[in-house]
């Protein structure tokens, strides 16, 4: 995507070959600041603190984290330490173990002297592939949006949740790739952006990137989603996924399940945009997916800018109240109209997934 006319990716190696540049997403939409990662620890911290987030970008950052680690020490022991450190950052997105296993498979058989260069190359390959997968998802999703537009002759009203856009991937996004392609093709689209409490990735990140690209949108409180669907104001829902089980159950940002329930009750199609690396072939069902529980402070406090444009954190709840903060939920496959993958729009069922990915190794 472009920032001020410049094609920009969310993560990129530095020209000096000794670091990686990211966008610090904890500061958006108020500040656009780039940050340089120079060590394994920098990469692990960036994932844990959610400076980078979104399943595909977590995987890409972890891959570069391994490359940074190999720069420090390319021994077999350090490779194992690096993968274990990065794996411990966030539990739900399967792209993290997927990327780490791929890096380990590539690097472990090599002599330590060859690992450094190979690690940078493999991390770059993971990023290139992510861009291609998301572009393919965009093309398949575009056909759904174009068909709706042909049928109704009105702007297509898309609802999304959290941020599964450009910022959540290396480029394009998953759920938003079809939206960008439709917009660029001149098909009128309007996006309902649910704010996504408690961290507000919808209000802060999705709204920011849609605005930068000039896509018409409006932010809604999470609780308004069912009401809009009931009124006929939503043509389709498209969300992303952190992990899809082999039977098509989908783990995504907390609140996704409630949107799927409301969509089913109102006959609104509910699609999940998902690249192959987000499918966990080892898990039969969604209830086995590990769900991250984050700090209560993300629920009890909120951050924004004041009238002087100063970043401020304020407390919302009584000081004595405890809070629980599960970061993801699982939407059963039966509520999913289709999985928009790079290989086409698939029925969320084991047989359809296996047919589309015959090479997948299932236990
Ligand atoms: C293409 S990103 C898909 C998901 O990772 C996204 O919808 C999501 O839930 C992100 O959660 P986050 O906690 O912000 O990393």
Asked whether residue 55 is marked as a ligand-binding residue, the answer is yes
For the entire predicted model, the pTM comes to: 0.98
Residues noted as catalytic: 242
DSSP 3-state of 26: coil
Q: pLDDT for 8-33, tens place per residue? A: 999 999 999 999 999 999 999 999 99
For residue 349, the model assigns a pLDDT of 98
Return the residue whose CA atom lies nearest to atom 9 of ligand 1: 253
Between CA 286 and CA 361 the distance in angstroms is 18
Which of 137, 253, 260, 341 most suits a substitution to test ligand 1, by most atoms within 8 Å of the C-beta?
A: 253
For residue 192, the model assigns a pLDDT of 99
Which of 25, 56, 93 most suits a substitution to test ligand 1, by most atoms within 8 Å of the C-beta?
A: 93
CB atoms within 10 A of CB 286: 23
Domains and CATH numbers, the chain: 2-129 (1.20.120.420), 136-356 (3.40.50.10470)
Between CA 133 and CA 120 the distance in angstroms is 20
pLDDT along the chain (363 residues), means of 10: 86 96 98 97 98 98 98 98 98 98 98 98 98 98 98 97 98 98 98 98 98 96 98 98 98 98 98 98 98 98 96 97 98 98 98 97 80
CA of 75 to the centre of ligand 1 (A): 33
Residue 94 near ligand 1, beta carbon < 6 Å: no
**ipTM for this model:** 0.99
Residue 169 near ligand 1, beta carbon < 6 Å: yes
Residue 253 near ligand 1, beta carbon < 6 Å: yes
CA of 70 to the centre of ligand 1 (A): 28
Q: How many separate helices (H) and strands (E) can be counted in the chain?
A: 12, 18
- Cα angle 185, 164, 88 (rounded to 5 degrees) comes to 150
């Amino acid at each position: 995507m472009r920032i001020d006319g410049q094609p920009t990716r969310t993560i990129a190696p530095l020209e000096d070959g000794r670091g990686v540049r990211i966008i610090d997403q904890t500061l958006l939409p108020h500040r656009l600041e780039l940050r340089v990662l120079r060590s394994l620890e920098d990469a692990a911290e960036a994932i844990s603190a959610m400076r980078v987030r979104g399943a595909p970008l977590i995987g890409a950052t972890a891959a570069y984290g391994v490359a940074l680690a190999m720069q420090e020490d390319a021994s077999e022991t350090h490779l194992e330490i690096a993968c274990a450190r990065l794996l411990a950052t966030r539990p739900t997105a399967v792209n993290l173990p997927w990327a780490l296993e791929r890096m380990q498979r590539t690097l472990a058989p090599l002599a330590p002297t060859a690992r450094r260069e190979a690690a940078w190359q493999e991390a770059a390959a993971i990023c290139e592939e992510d861009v291609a997968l998301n572009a393919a998802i965009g093309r398949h999703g575009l056909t759904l949006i174009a068909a709706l537009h042909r049928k109704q002759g009105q702007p297509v009203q898309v609802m999304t949740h959290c941020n599964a856009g450009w910022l959540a991937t290396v480029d394009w996004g998953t759920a938003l790739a079809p939206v960008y392609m439709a917009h660029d093709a001149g098909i009128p689209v309007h996006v309902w952006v649910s704010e996504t409490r408690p961290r507000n990735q919808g209000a802060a990140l999705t709204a920011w990137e849609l605005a930068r690209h000039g896509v018409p949108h409006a932010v809604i409180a999470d609780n308004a989603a069912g009401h809009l669907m009931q009124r006929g104001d939503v043509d389709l829902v498209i969300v992303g996924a952190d992990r899809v089980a082999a039977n098509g159950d989908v783990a995504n940002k907390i609140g996704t399940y409630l949107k799927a329930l409301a969509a089913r009750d109102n006959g609104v199609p509910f699609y999940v945009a998902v690249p192959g690396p987000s499918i966990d072939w080892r898990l039969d069902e969604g209830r086995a997916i590990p769900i991250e529980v984050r700090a209560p402070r993300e629920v009890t406090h909120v951050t924004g800018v004041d009238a002087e444009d100063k970043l401020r954190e304020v407390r919302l709840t009584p000081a004595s109240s405890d809070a629980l903060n599960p970061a993801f939920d699982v939407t059963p496959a039966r509520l999913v109209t289709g999985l928009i993958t790079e290989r086409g729009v698939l029925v969320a069922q084991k047989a359809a997934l296996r047919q589309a990915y015959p090479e997948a190794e299932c236990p």
